[in-house]
Amino acid sequence: MIDDTRIRGKIKAQISKFSGIISKGFSKPKRKLIKEVLYGIQASKDVKLSNISRTLNEEIDLIKTENRLSSSLDGVDFTDGINAQICRLGSNKVLDDMVIAVDDGDIRKKYARHMENLAGIHDGSENEIGNGYWLCKAVAADLEHKTVIPLYCEAYSQKAEDFKSAHAQRFKLIDKVSEYIGNKGIWAMDRGGDNNKQFNKFINTNKRFVIRLQKKRNLLHKGTVKNCYELAKCVPCPFEAKIIKYEEGKEKSIIISYNAVPVKLPNRKKKLYLVVIKGFGKEPMMLLTSCRVHLKVKESIWRITEIYLTRWKCEESFRYIKQSYNLEDLRVRSYIRIRNIVVLVLAVSYFASVYLGQNLKLKILVERIYVVSKRFFGIPSFFNYAIADGLYNLLYPDKKGITHTRGKETGADFQLCFDFCFDP
């Protein structure tokens, strides 16, 4: 049997190395804090400072550890610095045809009254208005759904002094991610991206995009301005595909039909394509894309549909971040602390899913983590949940915290030695 103590030591060393990389530019106390909170979130699968403090196992009263963490998380905003480092790390893994999914999420705080800049949000899971904070997120994924790379996550509130608009937050995300990946990737957005400012942003910077349209959008087709919904209903869809949907744990096959027509936005010269898909619901799905489409080749049209469906896969990554680390249960009051914890959860998810999950040099370590994740039916295709559970099962019982590690905070290369011992 493999000694879990050695595995824990190797994981702690990797956390120390990773925290040193993403905390560049911060002071030494803040670098130490980032390492401790990263470890605590991963070891407890929670963002509450009380549970993070328990995993550190300091030789002082628990309340003093919690107060120290709470005090240190205030004052300096980690959001921009850590997001930049995560984008830099993920940039060499983003390929030219990957999907960059952008989504506006939320953190719902039903019972909070005194959290700083608490504002009205739309709770997407319950489809109602409540109090909380907005999230601006970006994830990269390939069309085969084998690679998912968290790139950016920022919490914000419309009541904050530096808040300008939701568009400004989204453009900040696009600019930061583009700073590292350039024009690689195809940006995919839901109907929230159907606005003139967003289209101008993508077109002016020569980015490829696939955006789902709302019914009110007008398009220029064959020299005439037409409503996209009325146009979609008239477009014949001779191409068909069979897809499998999962509803209540059961497979259901449906036949969808699709086609595409060339269009333009009013007052814009760039040639675009409207892809129409019928069969997902009572009304046709309308996708506007700047990607080149061969209208007589069904695979070329279907590829645009696949890009948008991959955006749905990215939403599973968003759910993973919120569910695996209990993000909506954060219990700090100041706005800076809230933003810091959110971006640190992004860093934890990147560490688990990419830094460990996609690192061939750490393959043996990851396989051991899978084993202790205790899955009944093997590892699913979206393995992030299994890695998060495995790391939790390994680290939570540990009594030494992150203090005693072999890795260094400098981010220097750390060579793992896989000299695992097996009991006879």
Give the residue with greater pLDDT, 76 vs 11. Answer: 76
- Domain 79-321 fold is Transposase Inhibitor Protein From Tn5; Chain A, domain 1 (3.90.350)
Determine the pLDDT at residue 51.
Answer: 92
Q: Considering the chain, what percentage of its residues have pLDDT values greater than 70?
A: 82
| Alpha-carbon distances of 62 from 66, 178, 212, rounded to whole Å | 6, 42, 49
Give the residue with greater pLDDT, 397 vs 233. Answer: 233
| Alpha-carbon distances of 23 from 12, 15, 28, 347, rounded to whole Å | 16, 12, 9, 10
Determine the pLDDT at residue 327.
Answer: 87
Give the residue with greater pLDDT, 395 vs 111. Answer: 111
Q: Spell out the residues 6+ positions from residue 198 whose beta carbon is closer than 8 angstroms to its own.
A: 167, 170, 189, 211
Residue 238, pLDDT > 80, answer yes
Q: Confidence band (pLDDT; 50, 70, 90) for 372?
A: very low
- Using CA atoms, how far apart are residues 265 and 258, in angstroms rounded to an integer? 21
Residue 345 near residue 137 (C-beta atoms within 8 A): no
Cα 324 off chain centre by: 13
- Using CA atoms, how far apart are residues 277 and 242, in angstroms rounded to an integer? 12
Other Cβ atoms within 10 Å of 25 Cβ, number? 13
Determine the pLDDT at residue 408.
Answer: 44
| Alpha-carbon distances of 297 from 234, 287, 411, rounded to whole Å | 20, 17, 49
Angle of helix 4-22 versus helix 363-372 axis, rounded to 10: 120
Residue 183 near residue 207 (C-beta atoms within 8 A): yes
Q: What is the mean pLDDT of the chain?
A: 84
Other Cβ atoms within 10 Å of 424 Cβ, number? 2
Task: Pick the closest to residue 186 from 309, 353, 346, 317 (CA basis).
Answer: 309
What are 144-203's pLDDT values in tens digits? Answer: 767 889 999 999 999 999 999 999 999 999 999 999 999 999 999 999 899 999 999 999
Residue 382, pLDDT > 90, answer no
The tally of CA atoms less than 13 A away on the side-chain side of residue 111 is: 3
Determine the pLDDT at residue 105.
Answer: 86
Determine the pLDDT at residue 420.
Answer: 34
Q: Over the range 36-74, which residues count as b (16 or more CB within 10 Å of their CB) and which as e?
A: bbbbbbbbbbbbbbebbbbbbeeeeeeeebbebbbebbe
Determine the pLDDT at residue 418.
Answer: 35
What are 296-341's pLDDT values in tens digits? Answer: 999 999 999 999 988 876 677 777 777 778 888 889 999 999 999 9
pTM of the model: 0.84
Task: Pick the closest to residue 42 from 55, 33, 29, 57 (CA basis).
Answer: 55
Q: What is the dihedral of CA 20, 25, 31, 34, to 10 degrees?
A: -80
- Using CA atoms, how far apart are residues 136 and 154, in angstroms rounded to an integer? 5
Angle of helix 166-181 versus helix 196-204 axis, rounded to 10: 20
What are 156-166's pLDDT values in tens digits? Answer: 999 999 999 99
